[in-house]
């Protein structure tokens, strides 16, 4: 009874980085924690009608970004400075208000790419958890770079790292395929480890069996807890109330008949194509992709965000309207869970990768930058759930390559193996988040420890 009363009082703040691929897992984790009796306030600088909607029992509190009042932000450094002071002001307000109303905040769970949030937590007298939204393998690579054991880009053709398969230099995280290296990005990513020894918990959105070897190595360096896959519980055996989708989507779909369209297709007959919320393809690449999809002759559902639509070849939309559907956004997990979807052509963002693995969908990996290239390596060579496209000397994936890769995953000689492996990972992902599974136990333990603060 006593512990139940204490549980009801435990209140934490969740602080995602304001991008879709960071908000989704943090919101999902917040929902899980509320299901374990905690109160969670998720703070975001995004302020629109969506942040005001109901998200299970998670309270969403938004800050309006006053960067315009402060003049134009020209450098990355200025952006972070402005952003962190906005956050600190907001968090102080919440901590003070909740303290007075008898629901004091005890912990800040922050996105690992904002390590300065740990200092804010300490100034406010809070415990702190760093929340990693990339794979354990990618985290380990950044950690090696941080510790000075590895350079990226690497001059070595083969890199051998603990708990990982041999990696080629093109398997290591990069700012953009074939582009100049950006030191700012790598310093942002390695800074995730700058104060890792001082934080109270390190949480990673992945699961033990998916990354067992590298997880063991990471655990020998710092106490990581794997808590994923954080996908809407509708697709797991641990269904939470009111949890059909992530919830806080920053994009809108322009199509209401998507479900009907998918329902009208045969099982495993559709190629779903999407490149997440940030990646932007060159016009030439869009053209090759469009032609490749057309030539493959499969039904396709292609997400082309509004800002990318102008790059679509003029005639393509009309010519392929029988075969394909182009939308500006869609509920991706719902699409991947639909039985008409036979493969996922993806940019290999970590959430998209985990969603496909958790829902048993084979992939055509077409990574663009950052951790996506490493995820693509794992998709093709470690988890063996699909193929990775090859780029030509101009950095383009040609229509012929697109068609060939789609055929290979949909009907090629390894298609059955990809499907079998996808089903295997789906089962293991489900097990991890089910009652008593490895990730479920870690979340349970985290919640229990919070209740004892």
Supply the residues annotated as catalytic: 22, 111
Q: Which residue in the set 50, 240, 278, 391 belongs to the binding site for ligand UDP (CB under 6 A)?
A: 278
175 is a contact residue toward ligand UDP (CB under 6 A): no
Q: Between 217 and 246, whose beta carbon lies closer to ligand UDP?
A: 246
Beta-carbon contacts of residue 5 (< 8 Å; ≥ 6 apart): none
Q: Between 10 and 139, whose beta carbon lies closer to ligand UDP?
A: 139
From residue 375 to residue 414, the character string flagging contacts with ligand UDP as x (rule: CB under 6 A) and all else as - is ----------------------------------------
Beta-carbon contacts of residue 42 (< 8 Å; ≥ 6 apart): 13, 14, 15, 16, 26, 27, 30, 55, 58, 59, 60, 61
30 is a contact residue toward ligand UDP (CB under 6 A): no
Determine the interface stretch with ligand UDP among 176-184, 201-209, 345-353, 433-441 (rule: CB under 6 A). 345-353
Neighbours of 337 (CB within 10 A): 18
For tokens 């919830």, the residue is 247
233 is a contact residue toward ligand UDP (CB under 6 A): no
355 is a contact residue toward ligand UDP (CB under 6 A): yes
Beta-carbon contacts of residue 198 (< 8 Å; ≥ 6 apart): 118
H or E element, residue 341: strand 341-346
303 is a contact residue toward ligand UDP (CB under 6 A): yes
131 is a contact residue toward ligand UDP (CB under 6 A): no
Q: Which residue in the set 342, 349, 360, 367 belongs to the binding site for ligand UDP (CB under 6 A)?
A: 349
24 is a contact residue toward ligand UDP (CB under 6 A): yes
DSSP conformation class of 205: S
Which residues share a beta bridge with 44? 62
Q: Please state the φ and ψ torsions of residue 13, each to the nearest 5 degrees.
A: -110, 135
| 155 vs 291: CA distance, rounded Å | 35
How many chain residues touch ligand UDP (CB under 6 A)? 20
Q: Looking at residues 314 to 343 of the shown chain, list those that interact with ligand UDP (rule: CB under 6 A).
A: 329-333
Q: Is 375 exposed, middle or buried (0-12, 13-18, 19+ CB in 10 A)?
A: buried
277 is a contact residue toward ligand UDP (CB under 6 A): yes
From residue 279 to residue 298, the character string flagging contacts with ligand UDP as x (rule: CB under 6 A) and all else as - is x-------------------
Please state the closest distance from residue 128 (CB atom) to ligand UDP, in A.
Answer: 23
222 is a contact residue toward ligand UDP (CB under 6 A): no
The DSSP annotation for 53-114 comes to S-BTTBEEEE----TTTT----SHHHHHHHHHHHHHHHHHHHHHHHHHTT--EEEEEEETT-
Please state the closest distance from residue 278 (CB atom) to ligand UDP, in A.
Answer: 5
Q: Looking at residues 40 to 79 of the shown chain, list those that interact with ligand UDP (rule: CB under 6 A).
A: none
Determine the interface stretch with ligand UDP among 78-86, 156-164, 348-356, 426-434 (rule: CB under 6 A). 348-356
First-last CA distance in the chain: 17
272 is a contact residue toward ligand UDP (CB under 6 A): no
Q: Please state the φ and ψ torsions of residue 92, each to the nearest 5 degrees.
A: -60, -45
Please state the closest distance from residue 372 (CB atom) to ligand UDP, in A.
Answer: 7
| 375 vs 311: CA distance, rounded Å | 26
356 is a contact residue toward ligand UDP (CB under 6 A): no
Residues at the interface with ligand UDP (CB under 6 A): 19-21, 24, 274, 276-279, 303, 329-333, 349-352, 355
């Amino acid at each position: 009874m006593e512990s139940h009363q204490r549980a009801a009082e435990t209140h934490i703040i969740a602080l995602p980085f304001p991008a879709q691929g960071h908000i989704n897992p943090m919101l999902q984790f917040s929902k899980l924690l509320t299901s374990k009796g905690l109160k969670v306030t998720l703070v975001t600088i995004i302020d629109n009608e969506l942040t005001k909607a109901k998200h299970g029992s998670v309270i969403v509190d938004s800050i309006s970004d006053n960067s315009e009042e402060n003049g134009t932000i020209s450098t990355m450094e200025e952006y972070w400075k402005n952003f962190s002071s906005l956050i600190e002001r907001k968090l102080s307000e919440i901590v003070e208000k909740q303290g007075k109303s008898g629901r004091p905040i005890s912990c800040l769970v922050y996105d690992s790419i904002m390590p300065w949030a740990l200092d804010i937590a300490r100034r406010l007298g809070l415990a702190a958890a760093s929340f990693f939204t990339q794979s354990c393998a990618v985290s380990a690579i950044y950690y090696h770079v941080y510790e000075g054991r590895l350079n990226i880009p690497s001059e070595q053709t083969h890199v051998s790292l603990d708990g990982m398969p041999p990696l080629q230099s093109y398997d290591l995280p990069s700012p953009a395929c074939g582009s100049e290296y950006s030191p700012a990005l790598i310093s942002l990513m390695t800074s995730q480890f700058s104060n890792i020894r001082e934080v109270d918990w390190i949480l990673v959105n992945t699961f033990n069996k998916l990354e067992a070897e590298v997880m063991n190595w990471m655990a020998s360096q710092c106490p990581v807890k794997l808590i994923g896959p954080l996908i809407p519980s509708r697709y797991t055996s641990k269904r939470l109330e009111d949890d059909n989708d992530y919830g806080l989507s920053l994009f809108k779909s322009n199509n209401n008949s998507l479900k009907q369209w998918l329902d009208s297709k045969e099982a495993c007959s559709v190629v779903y194509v999407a490149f997440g919320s940030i990646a932007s393809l060159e016009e030439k690449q869009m053209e090759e992709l469009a032609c490749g999809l057309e030539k493959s002759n499969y039904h396709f559902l292609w997400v082309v965000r509004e800002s990318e639509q102008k790059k679509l070849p003029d005639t393509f939309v009309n010519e392929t309207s029988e075969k394909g559907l182009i939308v500006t956004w869609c509920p991706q997990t719902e699409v991947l869970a639909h039985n008409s979807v036979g493969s996922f052509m993806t940019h290999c963002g970590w959430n998209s990768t985990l969603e496909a693995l958790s829902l048993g969908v084979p992939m055509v990996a077409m990574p663009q930058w950052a951790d996506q290239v490493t995820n693509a390596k794992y998709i093709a060579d470690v988890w063996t759930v699909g193929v990775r496209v090859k780029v030509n000397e101009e950095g383009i994936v040609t229509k012929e390559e697109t068609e060939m890769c789609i055929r290979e995953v949909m009907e090629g000689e390894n298609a059955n193996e990809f499907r079998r492996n996808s089903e295997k990972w789906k089962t293991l992902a489900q097990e991890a988040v089910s009652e008593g599974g490895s990730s479920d136990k870690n979340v349970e333990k985290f919640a229990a420890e919070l209740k004892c603060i």
